[in-house]
Amino acid sequence: MSNHSPSPTKESVPKPAPHLLSSPTINNPPSPRTHRALRRLQSAHTLGQANQPSLISQQHKQVLQRNQSPASNPSFSSHSRGRSNSDATMTATPGSAAGRRPISGKRPIAADALSLDRLIREGPPDGDVAGALESTRLKILDQGIKSDSDGMSSLRIYVWLILLNAPILETDSYLALIHRGASPAYSKIRNDTFRTLATDPLFRRRVSEASLIRLLNAVAWKLHDAKETRSDSLSSSAAAAGKVTHTANAHGSPELQSSTPAMKSRARALTLTTEGSEAGASEPGTYVQGMNVLAAPFLYAARSEAEAFIAFHRFITVECPGYVRGAMDGVHKGLALVDKVLAIVDPKLSLYLIGKGMNAELYAFASVLTMCACTPPLPEVLRLWDFLFAYGAHLNILCIVAQLVILRNSILSSPSPTKILRSFPPLQAEMIKEVTLTLIKKIPDDVYAEIVAHAK
């Protein structure tokens, strides 16, 4: 989590429709059509509009004004966007919890009159960047990003790049990483790529294994360089202080040892690997379990490998760095939160699963690790990710609980829920979003703060 910009609170996400709030039970999920009522509700996203443009953002503006492609629309970069999904600046009030502030009435926004396509291509009317981002998020929630039956959209990757606040990347920079050849993590990457979404014909038809190898290898080099820079900096500091520094031995850092056999079995069943983490508990690695599956939707949605690369790198280093550290501490925190949130929103279902010896590490490991990308169909994964990028990747924890709530009756009536949860049913993004919105209001502020911070 960045130091200059605190994370959003529950008020950052629009409330569900009033009739959903008054519903006596969440056992029967609302119709997907009801989400259109959300467009009329209040939204309290504060988008860092008080921040002054940084020197970097001013330089970006000058570069962007010479390039009018949707991926780098200057209108969205004319201010420091002040926010990725988990970077919204919230104004703290005296005595407030985690920087909460009252929801203000929704003001008219000129961007509301534009389609999402025009908004991305033309930029915010009257230079209202904050208003345009707010409108973009609500349009995603209300209308979604238009795509064909395969989930393909010429607009989606540009919306993701904007919401992730991804920096500008010249294609030559990506090519330079490719031309460096095999990274230290290359063999581990090759051990995973051929199994990535192996049963998904849409992905296999559009994304080649070679493309996935190149992207992951380039990211591994990027992370390796960052690791070397940190190491050199620490060595220089220690030398200046007259201290002796210690380096890793020839065998490198210890492999991941904390996974239980059940977790490993579950992960392998979903074509993931638990072995081969590059680093210890706190040091970021260059390639760890699940990065291949996390990268897959970016390559599928992007129009070039370079776009997928910068979006994916930004995502894993800013939104969920805790997921790609050697011990995957962010993933384990997320699993604990799935158990905690389920106990809060549905105590009966939680106790039933616990009584059967079913905690989240046995059934939700891959779903937490991959932001539900391990569950087909891929077009529904993309729609769910639109929501997560718009309102915070941390909401994946609630999306997983929402899937359990949707399955509630089947689980409670089964003497062996392991069979049901061995692999989740096909994703239904709209229904999952609806149930997620009903769950948010049930989460205490302190627990929600843990959810926001767990992947950092």
DSSP assignment of 325-347: BTT-HHHHHHHHHHHHHHHHH-H
Whole-number pLDDT of residue 112: 81
Average pLDDT of the chain, as a whole number: 76
Instruction: Return d(Cα 313, Cα 44) in angstroms, integer.
Output: 28
Task: Pick the range with the lowest mean pLDDT from 31-40, 178-187, 279-288, 340-349.
Answer: 31-40
Q: Is residue 257's pLDDT more than 50?
A: no
Answer yes or no: are the C-beta atoms of 217 and 189 closer than 8 Å: yes
Instruction: Return d(Cα 324, Cα 322) in angstroms, integer.
Output: 6
The CA distances from residue 42 to 23, 134, 135, 142, 165, in Å, are: 20, 11, 12, 13, 24
Q: Is residue 154's pLDDT more than 50?
A: yes
Q: How confident is the model at residue 121 (pLDDT cuts 50, 70, 90)?
A: confident
Per DSSP, 126 falls in state: G
Domain extent listing, the chain: 10-89+110-163, 171-230+258-453
Question: CATH for 171-230+258-453, among 1.10.10.10, 1.10.472.80, 3.30.450.20, 3.40.50.2000?
Answer: 1.10.472.80
Instruction: Return d(Cα 55, Cα 47) in angstroms, integer.
Output: 19
Task: Note the Cα 211 to chain centre separation in Å.
Answer: 21
Instruction: Return d(Cα 226, Cα 216) in angstroms, integer.
Output: 15
Task: Pick the range with the lowest mean pLDDT from 4-8, 78-82, 437-441.
Answer: 78-82
Nearest 5°: CA angle at 30, between 24 and 35?
Answer: 120
Whole-number pLDDT of residue 16: 59
Instruction: Return d(Cα 244, Cα 235) in angstroms, integer.
Output: 9
Higher per-residue confidence, 200 vs 93: 200
Phi/psi at 284 (nearest 5 deg)?
-60, 140
Q: Is residue 290's pLDDT more than 80?
A: yes
Q: Is residue 25's pLDDT more than 50?
A: no
Tokens at 369, concatenated: 């690790």
Q: Is residue 428's pLDDT more than 70?
A: yes
Instruction: Return d(Cα 336, Cα 343) in angstroms, integer.
Output: 11
Q: How confident is the model at residue 241 (pLDDT cuts 50, 70, 90)?
A: low
Q: Is residue 58's pLDDT more than 60?
A: no
**Mean pLDDT calculated for residue range 209-231:** 92
Whole-number pLDDT of residue 229: 81
Strand partners, 325: 284
pTM (2 d.p.): 0.72
